[in-house]
Amino acid sequence: MTRNLDPHDVRLFSGRSNIPLARNIAQHLDIPLEETRFSKFSNDNLFVQLGASVRGRTVYLVQSMTPPVSDHLVELLMMLDIAKSAAAREIHAIIPYFSYARSDKKDAPRISITARLIADLLRTSGATHVMTMTLHSPQVHGFFSIPADPLTARMTLEQFIRQRPLDPKKDVVVAPDMGRAKPAARFAAGLGLPIASADKTRVSDTEVKIGGLIGRQVEGFEHALVYDDEIATAGSVVELSEVLVESGIKRITLICTHGLFLGPAVERIKSIPQIQEVITTDTVERPSERRPPNLTVLSVGNVFAEAIRQNYLRRSIGELFEGMET
């Protein structure tokens, strides 16, 4: 169990997006998860109250940006503002899933670069530091004008996969597009497996076209491990799975850090019988209807807890992930 935190100095609170993960973090840190009170007024305005004094203390606020994203974002901003107004010494926003990391550029006229806007709002609301995990667009890290630490779940995922027999002549890691090719290559290297990558064109928010595989082909392999940062509507991974099956792949394992499984995702995954396992983490809390068959959820509570400990003790967080990148 992770220790070395002063329970009289540290306060850990959670929004409503992922209370089980926050409890897991608290358990690893051996500190209580303090109460946070939420309610709504008759005019639909949100009321938030932190249930313990934060004056002069180090405060950690856990909140994922999961649906309903706007509600959870406002909760977090209010919690940050409360901690700042109540004279907390340090205020750390722990955001396991940062959904606006997709909005990293102006790729159409008259739109917002929302990731930068959210980064500014977090700072303005009182955050002195942000900790998140596996940003969809790594360059979003540069939008923060306060210290920000994007953690990785790769070690957790690798350790789980290594528990089963792997054969570099039968098993291959596949990236769904060139943007994820480098992280997938690192993941494959950690497992001692070859890597392949797909050529993807996005048609809409929920539809993609896979033009084929780039470089290494998968003929002769039996099992594909599709490695992505997140699965939302599953359009990319299912389209890729169809290409893999046509190429002779008999078994497919989907692996991602953030498993949202929104809209048609579960039915899409069910439509490909060769998808025999889905592995994700608990950065996102999901109801039972958004859980595909054969889903395995690995906790990253220990990863966040250890990073929080390193941060509190003024030690390098990077030491936890030497040789690891998202």
Active site residues: 200
Separation of CA 192 from chain center: 24
CB 243 within 8 A of CB 197: no
Q: Are 282 and 24 in contact (CB under 8 A)?
A: yes
Please tell me the distance from the alpha carbon of residue 211 to that of residue 49, in angstroms, as a whole number.
51
Q: Are 177 and 185 in contact (CB under 8 A)?
A: no
Q: Which amino acid is at 210?
A: I
CA angle 154, 324, 90 (to 5 degrees): 90
Residue 74: both structure tokens together: 């406002």
Distance CA 64, CA 96 (A): 5
Alpha-carbon distance of 278 to 282, in angstroms, equals 13
> What tokens appear for 139 in the block?
């360059």
Contact 194, 209 (CB under 8 A): no
The residue behind tokens 């039915």 is 267
**β-strand 36-40 against 171-175: which pairing, if any?**
unpaired
Amino acid at 16: R
Q: Name every residue whose Cβ is closer than 8 Å to that of residue 66 and which is 6 or more positions away in sequence.
A: 17, 18, 72, 97, 99, 260, 284, 285
- Which residues, in sequence order, are bridge partners of residue 190? none
Q: Which H or E run contains 69?
A: helix 69-85
